[in-house]
Amino acid sequence: MIIDIQLRMRFFESDHACVQFFAETGFPCPSRRNPSDHFLRCVNSDFDDVAATMKGSMKLRAEAELDPLLKYSTSEIRERLVDKYRISDYAMMVRSTIHEITKIEGVMEDVIRGSQASWLKQLRTLTSRSFTNMSRDLNYYWLRIIIYIVMAICLGTIYYDVGTSYTAIQARASCGGFVSGFMTFMSIGGFPSFIEEMKVFTLERQNGHYGVAAYIISNFLSSMPFLLAVSWASASITYWMVKFRPGFSYFAFFALNLYGGVSVIESLMMIISALVPNFLMGLILGAGVIGIMMLTSGFFRLLPELPKIFWRYPVSYIVYGSWGLKGGYKNDLIGLEFEPMMPGQPKLTGEYIITEMMGLSLNHSKWLDLAMIFVLLFAYRLTFFVVLKVKEAAAPYIRVAYTRFTVKRLERRASFRKTLAMASMSKRHNPPHPMAIQEGLSSPMPY
């Protein structure tokens, strides 16, 4: 009630009116004391300890004649202030002012939670802001584009004009495996930016500025131009230097296949950034997960030869690498003929290489393999949405559990128990000596 009195008078009246009210109640502010300190002295019970410490001293009796606060306890001062305020003109004026404010059109008494912007407005604003941040941060995408271009040049020079000889079969497969595996693996370089972005998202989400879905979609839309630039720039260099099958449709598939793999890895790292507490742990976890994806893609060991339980079904079906590699093989090999291992033997067709040498099926088109990558991309983004929602709902329980665990761990330490015991003894046997009783101070709260 006392705090309510002070706040109401501070907001609706001048400082002079507040000082006048306390004076009318019988507690005037001394001329050399700060009014805020005087108000605090009236309502804070901690100063009762000061009076108790000085009880019986000649100095206290002398000051009591000048300072009426020393004659009463804090509880008595509070009661007098409350009783006086209830029947004062100040209370009537405050109630009248509040009543007039509530009649103003557009003023709402209830607290409005969350953002008042529409979902589309949130999406547009977040997309624009995220795109601006990505454009200005050289380490976010620009440096990665340069690294991808350099890597594409290196790859193109190593496999330059690979041809259609018998040894070119393994060379083409290796080049495709590197593109679908290691070139997408380099997307892990964006993880530090994801960690920083998650900090901003957590703070803004707690304030209710926007929804989780708007954030995820905006991040995908704002990153799309940069990822397309990464994939198309890399594909343009590698595809024409290696001299894969000529034709724009084949090149477009190659670039989209790379874009899908990079986007899936970005989504995976965003999931990890929402789960781990720091950069180092996320980097280690992300590298491990991507390594497992590469092992089950069908390059290091053919898909039919993977252990059927777990690795073949379902792992190879839920990782992007197997679909990207199968689609890449079909895009590059179908329709080509390669020289046989021994001269005089019939040439090897691309279909034969895919089915017999790689153990893959031609029952569906390469476009279905590409479509499955984008299905996985959607599934990973949906998983990211679920993770953020679950984390948001479980955050209070996690904090409570972590606090209890920390307290129990500290209680088991002998040094911590000793510190608590010493603090308890110090508080019991050594009462504090406030600065107010030191020589030269005329009151508990001097100006």
For residue 42, name the pLDDT band (cuts at 50, 70, 90): confident
Q: Per the structure, how many domains does the chain have?
A: 2
419 is a domain residue: no
Which residue's entry shows tokens 């690294």? 147
Q: Is 229 exposed, middle or buried (0-12, 13-18, 19+ CB in 10 A)?
A: middle
Q: Report yes or no on whether pTM surpasses 0.85.
A: no
Reported as a single tens digit per residue, the pLDDT across 69-93 is 667 777 788 888 888 888 877 778 8
75 and 169 both lie in a single domain: no
Dihedrals φ, ψ of 245, to 5°? -55, 130
More confident residue, 125 or 422: 125
109 is a domain residue: no
Residue 232 CA to residue 149 CA, distance in Å, equals: 10
44 is a domain residue: yes
- Residue 7: pLDDT above 50? no
100 and 129 both lie in a single domain: no
Which residue's entry shows tokens 């509040």? 98
Pull the structure tokens for residue 370: 């590409």
30 is a domain residue: yes
- Residue 270: pLDDT above 80? yes
38 and 142 both lie in a single domain: no
Cα 249–chain centre separation: 39
240 is a domain residue: yes
- 361, 388, 415 - which closes a domain: 388
95 and 129 both lie in a single domain: no
Instruction: Report pLDDT for 441.
Output: 42
412 is a domain residue: no
59 and 139 both lie in a single domain: no
Dihedrals φ, ψ of 309, to 5°? -80, 125
Is omega for the bond preceding 314 within 30 degrees of 0, making it cis?
A: yes
Name the residue range of residue 22's domain: 2-104
Which candidate, 239, 236, 294, places its Cα nearest to that of 265?
A: 294
158 and 28 both lie in a single domain: no
- 104, 135, 164 - which closes a domain: 104
What is the average pLDDT score of the chain?
A: 81
133 and 97 both lie in a single domain: no
Reported as a single tens digit per residue, the pLDDT across 315-371 is 999 988 899 999 999 999 998 999 988 888 889 999 999 998 988 989 989 999 999
98 and 137 both lie in a single domain: no
96 and 144 both lie in a single domain: no
For residue 445, name the pLDDT band (cuts at 50, 70, 90): very low
302 is a domain residue: yes
- 345, 370, 388 - which closes a domain: 388
163 and 89 both lie in a single domain: no
120 is a domain residue: no
